[in-house]
Structure 1
Amino acid sequence: MASEFQRAYRGAIRIKSWKSPELFFVGLYPNCRALFVFGQSSNHNAYAENAKVVTRFNMNKKMINGVEDVVITPGWFLREDGTKPNSKDILRRPKRGPVWDMKGVRRILEERGLGHQDELKKQGKHWNARCGSIPVADRSCCRFHLLAAQPDFLEQKAMLHLVIIDAGHLFSLYPKYYC
Structure 2
Amino acid sequence: MFKKNILAALVILSLASCNPIGEKVAEIPLSAGEIGSTNPIDLKKGDVITIWSKIAERSDKEGGAAFKIKYNVESNGQNIVFDTLRVNEGNHKINAEKTTESYTQSSSAGDSTKYYTLKQFEIENKKITIPHDGKYNFDFKLVNGDYGLFNNDMLIILRKTK
Classify the TM-score, shorter chain: under 0.3
Q: Name the structure where helix makes up a greater proportion of residues.
A: 1
TM-score, length of structure 2 as denominator length: 0.24
Q: Which has the higher contact order (CA 8 A, sep 6+)?
A: 2
TM-score, length of structure 1 as denominator length: 0.22
